[in-house]
Amino acid sequence: MHIIVTGGAGAIGRHAVHELLSAGHSVTTIDLREPPQCMSGEQFIEGDLTIQSEALRVIRDADVVVHLAAIPNPDSDPPERVLSVNTVSTYNVAEAVRRNGIRRLVYGCSESSSGFGIHYVNIKPQYLPIDETHPVCPHETYSLSKRFGEEIAVWYAQAYGFEAVALRYAWVWLPRDAAGIQALVERHRAGNWQVGSWFGAYIAPQDVAQAVRQACDVPLGCGRLEAFYLTAESTFYPVPTLEVLTAIFGELPEVRDADYFVSNPYATPFDTRKARNMLGFRPAYDWRHYEEWVYATPK
């Protein structure tokens, strides 16, 4: 297949491009800047996806579009810019997909779109584990932009009959954040840790890339979107997940599927079984071996 990856010059994008090329696909990267070194078989096109004419020009002649381009957090830019850039670019990508007859859109969403990732208010889950049908409550600029993007993909897939996938991945541990994460890991290893408001979910970019490849390949019906939560197998905490959630909220949310936590007491509160069953997703990376994978750069 020929696959377009928006944001392919970014940290997650480089891993996704490498994974897709390794699987035998042809890949075109679209970004505001060219990657330091294009991989063998990768093509690059410069394009600003916040401009619709640019999106229509560069997103064409492909089987699948993987849309990863985004401002990746609420803190690096003014909040109104985060919301507008992420939402408008996703709208323009969806327009290009439908106008140019592309079969599938794979949207790089976020667990934050649920309201439980990046958040300013601690919202107690209605039940555990949190699956893709759990009600959402995004309430800051980044999580809102990701949620709006998923809704655009849902409605466009229904209206125009293309296939869509939303990958709701957890906090992706990237080289640019390595110093802060390393300090977190070292405190954790020394036993100097405490439960905050974070649920402890994270993921390696290599595992996100695995899911991107699977989302491009999995058989789907037209006219609908399939969403998937993606995290590492277990949380970052050394105590069982139900204890973590009790510590955060003062009481345990309803546990609808106790077997989920019996098989792995440290399992992420985000239910990844749909990704496991439909995509074949198997996260391979864990914080205990963080140094072995966080600095890996695909070439």
Query: Mind giving me the DSSP string for 162-231?
Result: -EEEEEEE-EE--GGGHHHHHHHHHHHHTT-----S----EE-HHHHHHHHHHHHHS---TT-EEEEEE-
User: Which residue's structure tokens are 């958040």?
Assistant: 119
**How many domains in the chain?**
1
**The predicted structure's pLDDT at residue 289:** 87
**Would residue 182 count as lying in a domain?**
no
**The predicted structure's pLDDT at residue 296:** 82
The share of the chain scoring above pLDDT 90, in percent, equals 87
pLDDT of 92 above 80: yes
**The predicted structure's pLDDT at residue 165:** 99
Q: Which residue in 40, 11, 37, 46 sits closest to 26, CA to CA?
A: 40
Residues 230-247: tens digit of each pLDDT: 999 999 999 999 999 999
**The predicted structure's pLDDT at residue 192:** 84
User: Which residue's structure tokens are 């070194």?
Assistant: 37
R_g over Cα of the chain: 19
Helices (H), 36-128: 52-58, 79-99
| Structure token digits, residue 146 | 């990701």
Residue 161 Ramachandran class (φ > 0 left, ψ -120 to 50 alpha, else beta) = left
Mean of the pLDDT values across residues 77-86? 98
**Would residue 184 count as lying in a domain?**
no
Residue 191's pLDDT band (cuts 50, 70, 90): confident
Residue 190's pLDDT band (cuts 50, 70, 90): confident
**Would residue 99 count as lying in a domain?**
yes
**The predicted structure's pLDDT at residue 194:** 85
pLDDT of 299 above 80: no
**Would residue 107 count as lying in a domain?**
yes
Residue 290's pLDDT band (cuts 50, 70, 90): confident
List the beta bridge partners of residue 5: 29, 66
DSSP type of residue 288: G
Q: Assess contact for 69 and 7: CB atoms under 8 A.
A: yes
For the chain, the average pLDDT equals 96
pLDDT of 131 above 90: yes
User: Domain containing 165 — which CATH number?
Assistant: 3.40.50.720
**Would residue 211 count as lying in a domain?**
yes
**Would residue 245 count as lying in a domain?**
no
Q: Which residue in 194, 145, 146 sits closest to 170, CA to CA?
A: 146
**Would residue 145 count as lying in a domain?**
yes
Q: Which of 42-51, 65-74, 98-107, 190-199 has the lowest mean pLDDT?
A: 190-199
**The predicted structure's pLDDT at residue 233:** 96
**Which residue range is the domain that position 114 belongs to?**
2-173+204-233+269-284
Cα separation, 86 vs 84, in Å, equals 6
**The predicted structure's pLDDT at residue 125:** 98
Mean of the pLDDT values across residues 17-31? 98
**Would residue 187 count as lying in a domain?**
no
**The predicted structure's pLDDT at residue 73:** 92
